Chain A
Amino acid sequence: MSTVRVTIGPRTYTIGCSPGEEPEVERLAAQFASYYERQNATRAPQETQNFLIAALIMASDLEAAHGRIAKLDADLDAARHQAERGWDEAADTKAALEARLDRARLAQERSRREVERLRAASEQANSEHANTDTALAEQLETLADTAERVASELEGRAQVA
C-alpha cells in the first residue's frame, strides 16, 4: 500500500493507493484542486461545503463533456451513413460504367467486322473491274488488228487500181 499527499485548498490530505498509481492520483487531485480554486472569492468556512461546490462545478463540466461526446457520436454516425451512401453510389456508378464499357466493346467489334466485310467487298469489286477492263482492252486490240489489216488490203487495192 502506498500513500500520496495531496493539497486541496488550505489543507493537505494523505491518500492510500496501490503501488504505481501515485502519479495518476496526484494528477486527478491536481485537477480537482483546480475546480476547488475557482471558488476562491466565495469560499465557505466549512471545507465540506467548498468540496461540494467544487464537485458541482466539476459535475457541470462533466455533463457538458457528455453532451459534446453525444453530439460527436451523432456526427460520426451521420458521417458513417454518408460514407456508406457514397460507397453505394460509387458502386452503382462503377457498375453502370462497366455496362457502358461492355456495350462500347460490342459496338467496336461490330464495326470491326463491318469494316472487314466492306474491305473484302471493295477488293472483290476492284478485281472484277480489272478483269472487265482487261477483257475490253483485248477486244479493242483485236479490232485494231482487223482495222489495220483491212486498211493495208484497201491501200494495196487502191494502188493496183
Chain B
Amino acid sequence: MSTARTQAAIIRITAALARIEKVRPQDGGDEALRREVSATIAELDTLIDGLEMP
C-alpha cells in the first residue's frame, strides 16, 4: 500500500522536474529566470537528500 503511494509520488516528482527543465531558459535568455530554475532544482535536490530512507 505504502509502496504504491511511494511510486506514485516519485512519478509525480519526475514529471514536475521534466516540466521545470522544459522552461529552463537557454544561454542568452532570461538570466533571472534561468537562475530561478537552477535554484529551484537545487532546492529539490536538497529536499530529496533530506528524505529519510527506510
Does the CB pair B17–A147 fall under 8 Å? yes
CB neighbours (8 Å) of A154 from chain B are 19-20, 23, 33, 36-37, 40
Q: Is A132's CB within 8 Å of the partner chain B?
A: yes
CB neighbours (8 Å) of A143 from chain B are 9, 13, 44, 47-48, 51
- Give the interface residue-count category, chain A: 20 to 34
- Bits for B11-38, please: 1 = Cβ < 8 Å to A, else 0: 0110111011001010001100100110
> Once bound together, how far apart are the Cα atoms of A110 and B40, in whole Å?
60
> Once bound together, how far apart are the Cα atoms of A69 and B48, in whole Å?
107
Does the CB pair A141–B37 fall under 8 Å? no
Closest chain-B Cβ to A130's Cβ sits at a distance in Å of: 7
CB neighbours (8 Å) of B23 from chain A are 151, 154-155, 157-158
With contacts A144-B16, A146-B47 known, is A137 near B9, CB below 8 A? yes
> Once bound together, how far apart are the Cα atoms of A137 and B31, in whole Å?
35
Chain B residue nearest in CB terms to A150: B40
Closest chain-A Cβ to B28's Cβ sits at a distance in Å of: 13
CB neighbours (8 Å) of B44 from chain A are 143, 146-147, 150
Chain A residue nearest in CB terms to B12: A144
CB neighbours (8 Å) of B36 from chain A are 154, 157
With contacts A147-B20, A150-B40 known, is A140 near B52, CB below 8 A? no
Chain A residue nearest in CB terms to B2: A133
Interface residues of B (CB under 8 A from A): 2-3, 5-6, 9-10, 12-13, 15-17, 19-20, 23, 25, 29-30, 33, 36-37, 40, 43-44, 47-48, 51-54
